[in-house]
Amino acid sequence: METKLIKTGKFIDGKEVLAIELTNSQGTYVKIYNYGAIINKFIVVNKHGEKQDIVLGFDDIDQYTSEAYLSNYSYLGAIIGRYANRIKNGRFNIDGETYQLSQAKGGDCLHGGDIGFDKKVWDVLSTIDPSVTLQYVSPAGEEHFPGNLTVQLTFKLTDENELILDFKATTDAPTAINLTHHSYFNLAPQGGSIAGHIHRMPASNYLEQDDNYVVTGKLIPVEGTKYDFLGDKAIGQDWDIEEGYDQTFVLDKPYGEFTLASETSEAESGLKLSVYTTEPVAHFYTAKYLDVKNGKDGQDYLPYGAFCVETQHHPNGINVPKFPSTVLRPGENYKQTTIYKIEHN
């Protein structure tokens, strides 16, 4: 088990982009960039004894900042912050003060604004085998959010084939925060559509969205709908092929409890990915808008060629008082743990 720090020679805003490599005794290898806290590679051994990369990404760090990729940006493998998903009209109120954020297509704020945490070079605080802790200090007013926010994210790879993501944050003024990670997974050896992956989520309700995918505040039971993943089901079994899934599921658990968020398996590789989290919801996205040219090994990534399980607090929760609070205040500590665990079926 070890951690390696590798210089890429690339600098962004005067800070060097570094690659951090984590390996364990099971042959699992994870490569992370301090740019965007991107999980670039997640290589595991499948049931055939073959090494297989289960996340989408690029072979070259420069591709993550290319004009072609950013013009149809998909947040491949990156952290999302200060605020995951959408905030209605890019606006929220804390203690009587209204804050207007940048607005994306449709007029809502998406994934933290124009230049979110996914486009920042994070400081490498420590590397303890096999883990790395990254830090980013977001200044007050960045993307129009209040408060100086200090965020730390630790990635740790265990010999049980768990990649643990521990998030921590503090602030010097009340602010909105909702962090997640946006890895795109495909468990099939040759990639392609994830329609045949078998998926399960212990979530009896999902969150209603408006026409621009913004959460309204209403919970809808999954029973009798295409959103029912309470039992094992092929992802493509009930979906609308023109839409796939892009919904937030409310996990069946007490608030703050660390439990299973989802299980996804694929027959040919024999791999199963289980996601565990302390967070109350998981956003399940089947990559409808994915259109990336020249990914790893020259692959083109197309719609429904991956799935994301984005553990977080309720999207737009800053504007829905009945949802768990996404306000962080001075003296408080934001904490979140999410684990990606790989097993054989």
| Spatial distance between the Cα atoms of 293 and 230, rounded to a whole number of angstroms | 35
Q: Compute the radius of gyration of the chain from its Cα atoms.
A: 19
Q: Looking at residue 139, what DSSP letter applies?
A: P
Q: Do you find a cis peptide bond into 139, omega within 30 degrees of 0?
A: no
DSSP per-residue letters across 141-174: TGGG--S-EEEEEEEEE-TTSEEEEEEEEEESS-
pLDDT at res. 1: 75
Model confidence at 23, pLDDT cuts 50, 70, 90, reads very high
Task: Residue count of the chain, please give it.
Answer: 345
In angstroms, how far is CA 83 from the centroid of its own chain? 12
Specify which residues 206 forms β-bridges with.
220, 249
Q: Looking at residue 15, what DSSP letter applies?
A: E
pLDDT at res. 298: 95
pLDDT at res. 129: 83
| Spatial distance between the Cα atoms of 209 and 215, rounded to a whole number of angstroms | 4
Contacts of 331 (CB under 8 A, 6+ apart): none
> In 172-305, which ranges are E strands?
175-176, 180-182, 198-200, 205-209, 215-221, 233-234, 246-250, 259-266, 271-277, 281-285
Q: Are 167 and 135 in contact (CB under 8 A)?
A: no
Distance between start and end Cα atoms, the chain: 24
16-42: average pLDDT: 97
Residue 142's φ and ψ, nearest 5 degrees, are -65, 125
56: nearest Cα among 311, 301, 343 = 301
| Spatial distance between the Cα atoms of 181 and 80, rounded to a whole number of angstroms | 6
Residue ranges and CATH numbers for the domains of the chain are 58-125+132-344 (2.70.98.10)
Number of helical H runs and strand E runs in the chain: 1, 27
The answer to whether residue 343 is catalytic is no
Q: Are 176 and 142 in contact (CB under 8 A)?
A: no
| Spatial distance between the Cα atoms of 65 and 74, rounded to a whole number of angstroms | 12
290-305: average pLDDT: 96
Q: For 214-228, what is each residue's pLDDT tens digit? A: 999 999 999 999 999
**Mean of per-residue pLDDT scores for the chain:** 97
Q: Are 201 and 229 in contact (CB under 8 A)?
A: yes
Given 199, 283, 310, 314, the catalytic residue: 310
Asked if residue 178 has pLDDT above 80, the reply is: yes
Asked if residue 146 has pLDDT above 80, the reply is: yes
The answer to whether residue 310 is catalytic is yes
Asked if residue 340 has pLDDT above 90, the reply is: yes
- Helix, strand, coil content of the chain in percent (nearest 5): 5, 45, 50
Q: For 232-289, what is each residue's pLDDT tens digit? A: 999 999 999 999 999 999 999 999 999 999 999 999 999 999 999 999 999 999 999 9
Q: For 95-128, what is each residue's pLDDT tens digit? A: 999 999 999 888 999 999 999 999 999 999 999 8
pLDDT at res. 105: 82
The amino acid occupying position 68 is A
pLDDT at res. 2: 82
Global pTM value: 0.97
What is the percentage of the chain residues whose pLDDT exceeds 70? 100
What is the percentage of the chain residues whose pLDDT exceeds 90? 97
Pair of tokens at residue 157:
């790879």
The amino acid occupying position 22 is L
Asked if residue 345 has pLDDT above 90, the reply is: no
Q: Look-up: residue for tokens 């890429």?
A: 8
Model confidence at 148, pLDDT cuts 50, 70, 90, reads very high
pLDDT at res. 30: 98
Given 182, 197, 283, 314, the catalytic residue: 182
DSSP per-residue letters across 245-267: -EEEEE-SS-TT--EEEEEEEET
Q: For 310-333, what is each residue's pLDDT tens digit? A: 999 999 999 999 999 999 999 999
